[in-house]
């Protein structure tokens, strides 16, 4: 993969992904974390436009389904040709295959989709890597580096990778930027939720990990619930119904809208903290402690506690 333009690693967090999607100019989508693959976990999330799955990457890992080299249904798929971009790669591959009136891509992604419509997956990936707008939005979530240490890491770091699962034209696809083509997981039977098709695929992948290991994360791209609840509220008010049930439903929807707005406000504040550079504050705090001759005793106390715990650990095995 090419590294001509630097892309940062970003955190697998629904608040990060939701704001990133909105920064792309997309309207009508939010991201929610999924803690269970049980059917009940998806009841209040429908419609689910796609799933974003993060897992510990293993080279030459076997996969289920069939590679659709011919791309029979003309699904949008861009290969990953740059490092650290798999999160945005997964999001873009998901968004550009959403077939729902709730979702508006916005001019940037619409133009990108139209411009690359005749490209093959590697060239779509190359075009994505050279998109200044997409790269800037992605890198806006770069974490501040507190200190640069001249220490070589001799250990082998774990690598993690994002893939997307989407329903498209009656079939379920897995879009993995490290593969050469979309992976077709088969048709969606009439009247059945596409989640029922993808559930065993993800479960099989999770079961490959050793018991006790947590090396995966699952998020769902769903319709913006604030918009959904507001639409239901407007329809209810316009109906002119003046009953206790209607009043209860109005109060319920207003509460749900307020909860969603509070959640988005919390996520936005958390994202600001993620971007903030705390180095000046930390340096000034250390200077203040040093002037008051409190810094050295604090450091010595930490070292003492660390050594004490290490000694206690040794006695535990005697």
Task: List the pLDDT tens digit at each of the 318 positions of the chain.
Answer: 544 468 888 888 999 999 999 999 999 999 999 998 898 889 889 999 999 999 887 777 777 889 999 988 899 999 998 888 889 999 999 999 999 999 999 999 999 999 999 999 999 999 999 999 999 999 988 876 555 444 444 445 667 889 999 999 999 999 999 999 999 999 999 989 999 999 999 998 888 775 556 678 899 999 999 999 999 999 998 887 788 888 999 999 999 999 999 999 999 999 888 877 778 888 889 899 899 988 898 999 999 998 888 888 776 544
Which residues are known catalytic residues? 86, 161
Strand order in the sheet with 171-175: 29-34, 216-223, 48-56, 160-168, 171-175, 183-187, 66-67
Alpha-carbon distances, residue 111 vs 25, 30, 107, 117, 216 (angstroms): 12, 22, 6, 10, 33
> 14-145+153-223: what fold?
Ubiquitin C-terminal Hydrolase UCH-l3 (3.40.532)
- The reply to whether omega before 47 is within 30° of 0 (cis) is yes
181-209: buried (b, 16+ CB within 10 Å) or exposed (e) per residue? Answer: bbbbbeebeeeebbbebbbebbeebeeee
């Amino acid at each position: 993969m090419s590294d001509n333009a630097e892309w940062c690693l970003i955190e697998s967090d629904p608040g990060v992904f939701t704001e990133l999607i909105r920064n792309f100019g997309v309207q009508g989508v939010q991201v929610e974390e999924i803690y269970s693959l049980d059917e009940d976990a998806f009841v209040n999330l429908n419609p689910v436009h796609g799933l974003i799955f993060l897992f510990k990457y293993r080279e030459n890992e076997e996969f289920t389904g069939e590679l659709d080299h011919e791309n029979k249904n003309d699904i949008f798929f861009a290969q990953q040709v740059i490092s650290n971009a798999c999160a945005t790669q997964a999001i873009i591959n998901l968004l550009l295959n959403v077939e729902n009136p709730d979702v508006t891509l916005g001019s940037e992604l619409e133009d990108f989709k139209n411009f690359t419509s005749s490209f093959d997956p590697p060239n779509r990936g190359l075009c994505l890597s050279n998109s200044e707008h997409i790269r800037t939005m992605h890198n806006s979530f770069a974490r501040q580096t507190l200190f640069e240490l001249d220490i070589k890491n001799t250990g082998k770091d774990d690598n993690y990778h994002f893939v997307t699962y989407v329903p498209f034209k009656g079939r379920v696809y897995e879009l993995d930027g490290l593969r050469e083509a979309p992976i077709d997981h088969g048709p969606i039977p009439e009247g059945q939720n596409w989640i029922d098709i993808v559930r065993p695929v993800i479960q099989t992948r999770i079961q490959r990990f050793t018991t006790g290991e947590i090396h995966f994360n699952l998020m769902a791209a769903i319709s913006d619930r604030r918009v959904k609840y507001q639409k239901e509220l407007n329809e209810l008010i316009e109906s002119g119904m003046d009953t206790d049930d209607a009043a209860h439903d109005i109060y319920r929807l207003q509460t749900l809208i307020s909860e969603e707005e509070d959640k988005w406000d919390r996520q936005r504040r958390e994202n600001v903290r993620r971007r903030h550079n705390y180095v000046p504050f930390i340096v000034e705090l250390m200077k203040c402690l040093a002037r008051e001759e409190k810094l050295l005793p604090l450091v010595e106390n930490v070292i003492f506690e660390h050594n004490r715990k290490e000694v206690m650990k040794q006695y535990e095995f005697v």
